[in-house]
Amino acid sequence: MRRGGEGDGTCQYPTGHASCHGDVPVIGPLATGLIVLALLIMLSGIVTAVRNRPMGTVILVALGVLEVGLLVQAGFAVAGVIGGEGAGETATLIGYLAGTLLIPPAAAFLGLAERSRWGPAVIAVGAFAVCVMVGRLLQIWHGTA
């Protein structure tokens, strides 16, 4: 994992710029994993909706795993910010972290309440939102937004 820092020549900013204090090593792979998981949940939501079934346990468990992963990511990111890492924009970063945490429980609640094909459709919407938000989170973290 690349660690952008002073003197390694990979930094486009002057030494000491916030953008160059690099990555908490875990953020990149974890975020990628979370995006893949959210995409899988979105796909299974779409497939379930197309097959005209209500959402089942598998999607619910996957949403739980996603939420745990998002919590872990938020923990690492907050620790990183406190440790002076991440590329500025702290308020935006916190906003995205908090926002992503809200979506899986809300989607599960709505999706379970709707016992038709539109339940898994709700899950697909939520999972897509998580994909986009984790992607943006990565950009903000690396200062490439």
Partner 1 sequence: MSEPAIGSGPGRALLAVYGVFALAAGARAAVQIATRFEEAPLAYALSAFASVVYVVLTVALARGNRRLALVACGIELAGVLIVGTLSMADPAAFPHATVWSGYGSGYVFIPLVLPVIGLYWLLRRK
Q: How far is CA 135 from CA 15, 31, 35, 49, 128, in A?
A: 27, 8, 7, 25, 11
Smallest separation (angstroms) from partner 1 to the CB of 70: 14
Smallest separation (angstroms) from partner 1 to the CB of 90: 9
The smaller minimum CB distance to partner 1, of residues 28 and 135, is found at 135
Binding region for partner 1 (CB under 8 A): 91-92, 95-96, 98-99, 102-103, 106-107, 110, 113-114, 116, 118-119, 121-122, 125-126, 129, 133
The smaller minimum CB distance to partner 1, of residues 15 and 113, is found at 113
Smallest separation (angstroms) from partner 1 to the CB of 117: 9
> Cα-atom radius of gyration of the chain, to the nearest Å?
17
